[in-house]
Amino acid sequence: MNEAEKQKYIVAAGEHFRELFAEQLERAERLKKRERVDFSKLDKIKIAIADGDGIGPVIMAAARRVLSALLSDLIADGKIELCDVGGLTIENRLKLGVSVPQDALDAIKSCHVLLKGPTATPKGTSMESANVTLRRELDLFANVRPVRIPSENIDWTFFRENTEGEYVLGSRGFDVPDTLAFDFKVTTDEGTRRIAKAAFDYAVANGKKSVSIVTKANIMKKTDAMFSEICHEVAKDYPTLELEDWYIDIMTANLVNKNIRSKFEVFVLPNLYGDIITDEAAEIGGGVGTAGSANIGDRYAMFEAIHGTAPRMVELGLAEYANPTSILRACELMLSHIGLSDRARILSSAIEKCAVVERKLTVTGDKDGAKCADFADYVIESLY
């Protein structure tokens, strides 16, 4: 590469970064203006339901039937409305060339919360994942994932920052062909404060004492160091909490160390590390097919299974044998979020009874086990 070509790329990279930098400065300012929803003051709560791709339609059909049974009285009284949202299939998104079609986004924004099946991210394109787009557009800053194994004294709750880090600009890096590539990581003051506060509020409200801040601040000395510093600053308003800093590589080892892992309670961590470690935690807790996920903001919230679309199951004709436990756990989180904690407890007890205690039907993901629809029937029968 000659000097002229180098200068061309330097100028282009500078212009590209200037645009991204200005955009992120504006976003940081917007974060300071927050609109909160009080579900207790709403006459009707609208739940958007989107099937997604792969095994999504199968497990979402189960979730829809369970919710309809569990909330039948509230639906009949007009206090809850289940609203189907189309357009989030991979076929439609590829056809339109967008990660989330505008009509689907508008439909979701007309509701209060979204229950979503897994969505595929197309390979070989620059299109970002639907989840990343939804988290950004709905400003879902907190990804909350509980993992509980009573028999091993494990009760973990992870608060993953959901809108920043490597993901906010993940599809907008800069590359010089055959030479190098850059991606960008963004951490804001307000974005960190609100995820820290969400984690600390949860810890205090649920009688927890320990919060682990998980970063790689010894390497990422600007972004991760800032994240840790702000968490400690926010924690000054929570004198009952004990904070510990951990590096992500050590914490991934800690979670499989049976001698110490039960001491951890609440975790707060940036986006990428949270993505990795919560899948590890879910596997420890019984597999990603059994865990739900909450994506919470001030105005909107999204609830989903933490697993993907399971294309191999679909290719093998096994979609109807998919395990709906993960999306049902997401329903449980959603019910708690909208103020229906009593219904959430009923659902949790039914899932526990069916999946752990009685196990009259076992979903294995293949023809040796029960079908998704049959397991949903089992849960419905166990609700009351």
- How far apart CA 70 and CA 73 sit, in angstroms, is 8
**Spatial contact of 244 and 231, defined as CB atoms under 8 Å apart:** no
pLDDT digits (tens, 9 = 90+) for 194-235: 999 989 988 998 889 999 999 999 999 999 999 999 999 999
Q: What is the DSSP string of 129-181?
A: PHHHHHHHHTT--EEEEEEEEGGGTEEEEEEEE-SSBTTTTTT--EEETTTEE
**What percentage of the chain's residues is helix, strand, coil (to nearest 5)?**
50, 15, 35
Q: What percent of the chain has pLDDT over 70?
A: 99
Q: Give the burial class of 5: count Cβ atoms within 10 A of its Cβ; 0-12 exposed, 13-18 middle, 19 or more buried.
A: exposed
Q: Within 10 A of 93 (CB to CB), how many other CB atoms are there?
A: 23
Task: Name residue, tokens 């792969």.
Answer: 54
Asked if residue 178 has pLDDT above 90, the reply is: no
Read off the amino acid at residue 44: K
**Spatial contact of 189 and 223, defined as CB atoms under 8 Å apart:** no
pLDDT digits (tens, 9 = 90+) for 133-170: 998 899 899 999 888 888 899 999 999 998 898 988 88
Q: What is the DSSP string of 57-77?
A: HHHHHHHHHHHHHHTHHHHHT
CATH topology of domain 141-290: Isopropylmalate Dehydrogenase (3.40.718)
The torsion of the CA quartet 242, 243, 249, 254, rounded to 10 degrees, works out to: 0
**CB < 8 Å & 24+ apart, contacts of 310-313:** 310/54, 310/55, 310/118, 311/54, 311/120, 313/54, 313/55, 313/365
**Spatial contact of 194 and 308, defined as CB atoms under 8 Å apart:** no
Backbone phi, psi, residue 269, to 5°: -160, 155
Sheet-wide strand order for 154-161: 80-84, 45-50, 113-116, 301-305, 292-296, 142-149, 154-161, 266-269, 210-215, 242-247
- How far apart CA 51 and CA 236 sit, in angstroms, is 43
**Spatial contact of 215 and 247, defined as CB atoms under 8 Å apart:** yes
**Spatial contact of 365 and 323, defined as CB atoms under 8 Å apart:** yes
Residues found in the chain: 384
pLDDT of residue 300: 94
Supply the DSSP symbol for 96. H
pLDDT of residue 189: 95
Read off the amino acid at residue 382: S
pLDDT digits (tens, 9 = 90+) for 41-58: 999 999 999 999 999 999
Most confident of 1-15, 222-236, 281-295: 222-236
Range of weakest confidence among 78-82, 269-273, 289-293, 336-340: 289-293
Question: Region 67-87: what's the mean pLDDT?
Answer: 97
pLDDT of residue 350: 96
Q: Does domain 36-138+297-384 have CATH number 3.40.50.10490?
A: no
Domain residue ranges in the chain: 36-138+297-384, 141-290
Please determine whether the domains at 36-138+297-384 and 141-290 fall in the same fold group of CATH.
yes
Total-model pTM? 0.77
